[in-house]
Amino acid sequence: MPTISPDFRMTAVAAALLLVFSGAAYSQAYAEASPQADTAPAPAVTPQKTEPVRTVEITGTRNYDERREDTATKLVVTQEEIVKYGDSTIGDVLKRLPGITIGGVQGRGGEIRMRGLGSGYTQILLNGEPSPPGFSLDSIAPELIERIEIIRAASAEYSTQAIAGTINIVLKKAIQTAQREIKLGAGNEHGVWSGSANLQLSDRVGKLSYSLAGAFSRGRWDRPSTTEETGTDASGNQDLVRHYIDGNHGQYENINLSPRLNWVLPNGDNLVSQNFVSHSESHGNTGETILSSKEDAPLYAENSALYQSRFNMFRTDINWIHKLEEGAKLDMKFGANYNKRNSSLAYQGYDSDGVFALDRKTASEATDKGVTASGKYSTPFITDHSLVAGWDGAYSKRGENRLQNDTTFTGNVPIDLDESFDASVTRLALFAQDEWNITQRWSMYLGLRWEALNTRSEGRLFSAVENRSAVWSPVMQTLWKLPDSKNDQVRLALTRTYKAPSTSSLIPRHYISDNNSQLNPDSQGNPNLRPELAWGLDAAYEHYLPEGGLMSASVFVRRIDDIMRQRLSLIDGAWVTMPVNDGQATTRGLELEAKLPLRSIYKAAPAIDVRANVNFNWSTLSTVPGPNNRLDSQTPVSANLGVDYKHSQMPLTLGGNLSFQDGGPVRLSETQSAYSAPKRVLDMYGLWKFDAKTQLRISMANMLHQDNVGASIYADATGSLRQNTVTPTSTVIRAMLEQKF
């Protein structure tokens, strides 16, 4: 098995630490000696602010720095940063940001994790609201996004289902007069081509402004993998050897549209309509050959499958903003969403003699529809306070039908299923918050949120079940600008957050796996799950440099009760996994970040910007024996080192980013464990501007094309079973021509 390279790990960590702390003396000396630093005005106190924790609207000046000035901590990624590398998915963008890692092969379809935690610990918002059921961030082209907000500590205005933190994806909303822009792109991965096109239109007619952003992409994939499976008996003697050869080929097509209308009414009110339409479909085939001795052969030693999937989504929001006297404001939003997914699978299984053993046809259809409504009233009627109170509610209903028909040829019992179920989720929240400018250098944010969830489901194969939960979440954040310094400040946050069970985990429906084993079990939901509750503490020190530079260090700790984890059991001769509440966990971490324009140290330096971040995460579970009993397979170490260079004589910009994501062994239960190899990813890009309206962007992603290596292990008193999987990856080359009219 591959092991973690100590040299590389220490090199990556040392490089990031060096970047964070090197130059501190230079930057401090520059801040003290530079006339610009001496004459820079102190950040102004704005007691009339009515949105202490902003969602998708910036109300300050164009030069307002949210990360530096807001009491509630927030990192904002601009549209320029989002499209810099010509990425095709949001996951590719997020993997380079501080404190965020992406699971999966080359980040495709993998979980988005803050502080190394996934599985619902990281909250994903779309325009400030929880993303709809069945929605995938990979369905949104990065060109449709105006900004990404990374919120490390919870706020009362957003849902507090954010134990690890929140990522808010804000679709494009800026209206510019007569803007016309088109982007045409092509990419190649492992000899397979893909193409994309993006369009941006916007204009203003009197009091009405509008914009339309659209994206289209089409491509193919070829993703082979190999797996080695070995088993031992109670004495440690090897009694099982299998070799799996897997192939996965197919093609995809995505279309996104994001139209927006903005009316300024005669009385000064604003009425905004934001919509999002998405269509995606894919089809392909998989094949698996399992090589083993006759005695070790599984039930289906060779299998193949043809599959296709189609997903359609429509979402609309109407936002009314009414200005009241003395700076007060009423903000109301109503929305609706509709998603539909259709998929089919034709599976054929053969035994070890090549005899056709199983012909399985599966068809499923799922529909999600819902409505949302929210409102908030903000007022600055108390001096140096910005008060906000509001409510947030949603109702969604999911219906799913699934038919499975088996035809067997070797005497095995066919499994014919006619499954359907309906599930509804009702959410209601009330919140109040206040940002208080205690002094010119000290501000405090206090918030309280009550959020209740009610989930009800009923199906053909199970009786009606209902799950209710309600959580009170107090939130405190404070920002203190250090005395006698224009560049240094500290933050502190104390939060109560939670993680609610997903709808699918609450439904007691049984999913059957092929070739059932300890490492490939059936799965079933648990309607008795309770939410996980967490207390969290965050602290940060920030030092700001001239020219937009920054150095920061932050720490966090979370204590989580009623942890949800998967429990594996042998039921009626089949292995089944089910989520259960089991014990307490503690997670903590350290994050270091630096953004350093070289000209902030030396005025005559070339236009080079250096950025780096490194994150260390630790966690322990009370009910899982150690060592390596990390929470949700938490990523222990991640780091990024990036450089951007703008040529002074040519219209050329170059840049690159090296990222590192540690892996290693993790203990999942008394009998289960896993392993993942460290990942190293190198991305580079070049941008050539022909003129003010035309530019060409060339990028190369995953230039190291490192194999993705992982393992799953089961061991008890009767023996062990282990699977080692290797998935090759490829370098992706993309070109994007961008034209404004």
Cβ contact 534:496 at 8 Å: yes
What is the arithmetic mean of pLDDT over 164-182? 83
The SS3 call for residue 210 is strand
What does the pLDDT read at residue 470?
Answer: 95
What does the pLDDT read at residue 731?
Answer: 95
User: What is the C-alpha radius of gyration for the chain, rounded to an integer number of angstroms?
Assistant: 27
> How does residue 62 score in pLDDT terms, banded at 50, 70 and 90?
low
What is the arithmetic mean of pLDDT over 161-188? 87
Helix (H) or strand (E) holding 94: helix 90-94
What does the pLDDT read at residue 106?
Answer: 55
Cβ contact 93:142 at 8 Å: yes
What does the pLDDT read at residue 214?
Answer: 94
Q: What is the DSSP letter of 493?
A: E
What is the arithmetic mean of pLDDT over 515-519? 92
How long a stretch of residues is the chain? 741
Q: Is the pLDDT reported for residue 31 higher than 50?
A: no
Helix (H) or strand (E) holding 36: helix 35-39
What is the arithmetic mean of pLDDT over 446-450? 97
145-159 per-position pLDDT tens digit: 999 999 999 999 999
Strands 694-701 and 679-689: antiparallel
Query: What does the block give as tokens for 390?
Result: 């509001």
Strands 608-621 and 584-597: antiparallel
What is the arithmetic mean of pLDDT over 292-299? 88
What does the pLDDT read at residue 697?
Answer: 96
Cβ contact 537:163 at 8 Å: no
Query: What does the block give as tokens for 594?
Result: 């630096």
Q: Is the pLDDT reported for residue 7 higher than 60?
A: no
Q: Is the pLDDT reported for residue 428 higher than 60?
A: yes
Query: What does the block give as tokens for 420?
Result: 């359907």
Q: Is the pLDDT reported for residue 350 higher than 80?
A: yes
63-104 per-position pLDDT tens digit: 678 888 888 888 999 988 999 998 888 888 998 999 899 876
- Rounded to whole angstroms, the Cα distance separating 454 from 292 reads 49
585-644 per-position pLDDT tens digit: 999 999 999 999 988 888 888 899 999 999 999 999 999 998 999 987 789 999 999 999
pLDDT greater at residue 381 or residue 51: 381
> How does residue 564 score in pLDDT terms, banded at 50, 70 and 90?
very high
Share of the chain above pLDDT 90, in %: 70
What does the pLDDT read at residue 174?
Answer: 60
> How does residue 480 score in pLDDT terms, banded at 50, 70 and 90?
very high
What does the pLDDT read at residue 108?
Answer: 58
Q: Is the pLDDT reported for residue 47 higher than 80?
A: no
What is the arithmetic mean of pLDDT over 441-449? 96
Burial of 487 (0-12, 13-18, 19+ CB in 10 A): buried
What is the arithmetic mean of pLDDT over 235-260? 94
Which residues sit opposite 726 in a β-bridge? 226, 709
- Fold annotation for 6-740: Maltoporin; Chain A (2.40.170)
What is the arithmetic mean of pLDDT over 301-329? 93
User: Strand runs (DSSP E) across 95-157, as ranges?
Assistant: 100-102, 112-114, 122-126, 129-130, 145-151
- Rounded to whole angstroms, the Cα distance separating 538 from 553 reads 11
> How does residue 190 score in pLDDT terms, banded at 50, 70 and 90?
confident
665-724 per-position pLDDT tens digit: 999 999 999 999 999 999 999 999 999 999 999 999 999 999 999 999 999 999 999 999
What does the pLDDT read at residue 578?
Answer: 96
- Rounded to whole angstroms, the Cα distance separating 433 from 427 reads 20
Mean pLDDT of the chain: 87
Q: Is the pLDDT reported for residue 59 higher than 80?
A: no
Neighbours of 598 (CB within 10 A): 19
> How does residue 18 score in pLDDT terms, banded at 50, 70 and 90?
very low
| Greatest Cα pair distance in the chain | 87
Q: Is the pLDDT reported for residue 177 higher than 50?
A: yes
Q: Is the pLDDT reported for residue 120 higher than 50?
A: yes
Residues 6+ apart with CB under 8 A from 416: 404, 405, 406
> How does residue 434 score in pLDDT terms, banded at 50, 70 and 90?
very high
Please confirm whether the linkage preceding 546 is cis (ω < 30° from 0): no
What does the pLDDT read at residue 412?
Answer: 83
Residues 6+ apart with CB under 8 A from 95: 101, 102, 107, 659, 681
What does the pLDDT read at residue 35?
Answer: 36
Q: Is the pLDDT reported for residue 561 higher than 50?
A: yes
> How does residue 653 score in pLDDT terms, banded at 50, 70 and 90?
very high
The SS3 call for residue 730 is coil
What does the pLDDT read at residue 529?
Answer: 95
What does the pLDDT read at residue 3?
Answer: 40
Stated pTM of the model: 0.85
> How does residue 25 score in pLDDT terms, banded at 50, 70 and 90?
very low
Q: Is the pLDDT reported for residue 726 higher than 70?
A: yes
Buried b (16+ CB within 10 A) or exposed e, 102-119: bbebbbbebbbbbbbbbb
